[in-house]
Chains A and B, each alone.
Chain A
Amino acid sequence: MLEEVGFKIHNDEALQILVDSGVNVDLEEKTAFIPSDLVNKTLKGLPSSFKLYDREGVNAIDIGGDKVWFAPGTTSVNLLDHNTGENRLAETQDCVNHARLVDALEHLALQCTSIVPGDVPNEVKDWYRLYINIVNSQKPHFTGPFTMEGFYDIMKILETVAGGKRELAEKPRAYICVETSSPLRIGEIPCQALIECARASIPVEIRFLGGLGSLAPITLVGSLVQQTAEFLGTLVIHQLVNSGAPVVWCGTPALFDMKYGTPILSGIETVMMETAMTQVGKYYNVPTGVRTLCSSTKVLDAETGLESGIGLLLSSLSGTNIIQGPGQMGNANLHSLQKLVIDHEVCGMAYHLMDGMSIGEDAFAFDLIKKVGPGGTHFLEKHTREYLNKEIYHPSEVIDRQTLPQWKRSGSRDVAGRSREYLESVISTHEPVALDADMKRDLDEVVWAIMKRYGIDSLPVHPFSA
């Protein structure tokens, strides 16, 4: 596909890199015809895993192999207000609440710039939400730029947190999203961000959106092949810039709804393709990512639950390395803190499912069964107490397990009510680890310099004024 049909690259630097490597490039059409031997060579040199570090550079998670991590979905402009139930434009305070909540939720390994603050100037929308996440959490980050200026601002912020360019390369605190423009194209900004990340050894996620029957063939395998071609074409550029630079292959293949004429991300076909893509990724030995918890719904209802639940479980069992989506609804146009905590429960269930059952003589419990005998109970047995936390997943009060009378007595609340109470409690009681004074000062100076450059006097959450 890459050799015959070609890959259109709206970036002169990338085209030149390919020309210099002997690739046949039609410069006028901006199309490269990438040969398979170059692709194979690229795949051989690819790192099969990399580490992502927390803010202080102390702890890291391994991205790769069969280890599964969960991260909130991204990037939504609208927010489902957990107080009013209203679907409204998101604001800075929502970003703050989200960051603090994600910091507290144990099964979410990563922060994401999930929410676009609508109450700030356009020029700051991308880096500013990252800044808020950094201030409110130690967890590693997933983010992406809206413009190249935004990209350089993001890099500056990350370098400041790490203590320098080299330090950031050695211990990356974030990985950056780069998306292709199907079919078989990549735009100027994503491509430039790709090149810069490769140069700086910052991990990059190469992401495909596609669209069955719109921007990709309607047949799932056809779409999968196109997705793979787009990944490989982008990967070749990335690895030519810096062989061995870390990368994640992400698929969020959309369905094009043939009734409403819009892309959706919640269909069973998306889940099918993402699990298939993970299998291909494992064949290539490259870290994988998917977005399988994004529902199409605009309210918290049964459809929301089932779309998230199905997606999350299937992708966990596939062993995808980074599973994104908790909190995301409305086909990635709407974010919800309530959905985030509900999805978080499913993440916990998924981890429990992946851990499997305890096996072994003690687990088989023959002697115990004999001891308890026919008609006896296991309530008082030490064995029951010993295995309670390992064998059984204990959900938070977000998940309803009460009897009917108990449920009525505690207010007859549905999941919307229970999740609202839970998230409010977490946000008000959880204290994220604060930035140390030196890092805070350095970061504040960088942020202030960016604000000054844009002529911005103040932002809703900002370091200090003039």
Chain B
Amino acid sequence: MTNDSLILMEDIISELRQAVKDYDPEAAEIAAKKVIDHGFDPVLAITKGLTEELREIGDKFGTGELWFIDLMAAANTVQAAVGILEPEIKRRNIKTESMGRFLIGTVEGDIHDIGKNIVTLLLKANGYEVIDIGVDIPADVFVERVRTDKPDFLGLSSLLTSSMPQQKKVIEALKENGLRDTVKVIIGGAAVNEKWASEIGADGFAEDAIDAIKVTQALTLKEGKGD
């Protein structure tokens, strides 16, 4: 790379970071496109331009300096840029390791999705590949998606006390289909607690969206993936 190119790459990375700081998905997309137009390294753009900035914002959220909506807005901006850069990474056949593949959905009989949607956004921003299959999902559909999509993690969301038994049903169905050991199951939802999680044999339980990320990361480390 020439000196000019280096400077230009640095400028674009600054642009990406500023876009995340400003919670500006459009600016993030413009900067991401520049990376591609100049033939620069998209993986570097993500790690230096996006992930680092998001981590700083995450830290500030942790200390109370920034709010939950700041975190979400930053994650959303990162996602906009990643949406442009990821296809380029695939096109160039660059080998990258995502932190893991996470399949998520709200169980049958329940249409609540706000928790699931926040978790999805934050997981993506933290380097996980997330497949969100929506709400009111029957157990057999979860099983089928685990079979075909081969996720590392399965997230089951249930807000209502009445739909919680579905979480148990999904785990049982995975066992019946010989798929239980292929995936780590994490459950969440307002009525869910540790006792229920251990009763049904879940691998993890998340008290809220932030906790979901922590639990996933802890399970990722255990599996020997990620940093």
- Which A residues are within 8 Å of any B CB, using their own CB? 10, 75, 77, 89, 116, 122, 125-126, 146-147, 150, 181, 185, 187-189, 211, 213-215, 256-262, 333
Contact = CB atoms under 8 A, between A and B. Distances in A.
A257 B68 contact: yes
Contacts of B160: 146
B68 A147 contact: no
A122 B164 contact: yes
Contacts of A256: 68
A413 B193 CA distance: 34
Contacts of A116: 161
B68 A150 contact: no
Contacts of B190: 333
A258 B110 CA distance: 25
B195 A259 contact: no
Interface of B, helix, strand, loop or mixed by DSSP: loop
Given A89-B195, A185-B111, A215-B114, A259 B68 contact: yes
Interface string B62-95: 0010011100000000000000000000000000
Given A187-B111, A189-B109, A122 B208 contact: no
Contacts of A150: 162
Interface string B118-132: 100000000000000
Contact of A10 (B111, B161, B162, B164): B111
| Residue with the highest number of chain B CB atoms closer than 10 Å, among A116, A126, A261, A262 | A261
Given A126-B162, A258-B67, A261-B209, 4 more contacts: A122-B165, A146-B160, A214-B114, A215-B114
Contacts of A262: 208
A126 B109 CA distance: 16
A259 B64 contact: yes
Interface of B: 64, 67-69, 109-112, 114, 118, 136, 160-162, 164-165, 190-191, 193, 195, 208-210
Contact of B111 (A75, A125, A181): A181
A260 B136 CA distance: 27
9 contacts: A77-B191, A89-B193, A122-B161, A146-B161, A187-B111, A188-B109, A213-B69, A261-B210, A333-B190
Contacts of B209: 261
A261 B161 contact: no
Given A187-B111, A259-B68, A125 B118 contact: no
Contacts of B68: 256-261
A31 to B, nearest CB: 13
A147 B110 CA distance: 11
B162 A146 contact: yes
A114 B117 CA distance: 29
Contacts of A258: 67-69
Most chain A CB inside 10 Å of its own CB: which residue of B110, B112, B160, B162: B162
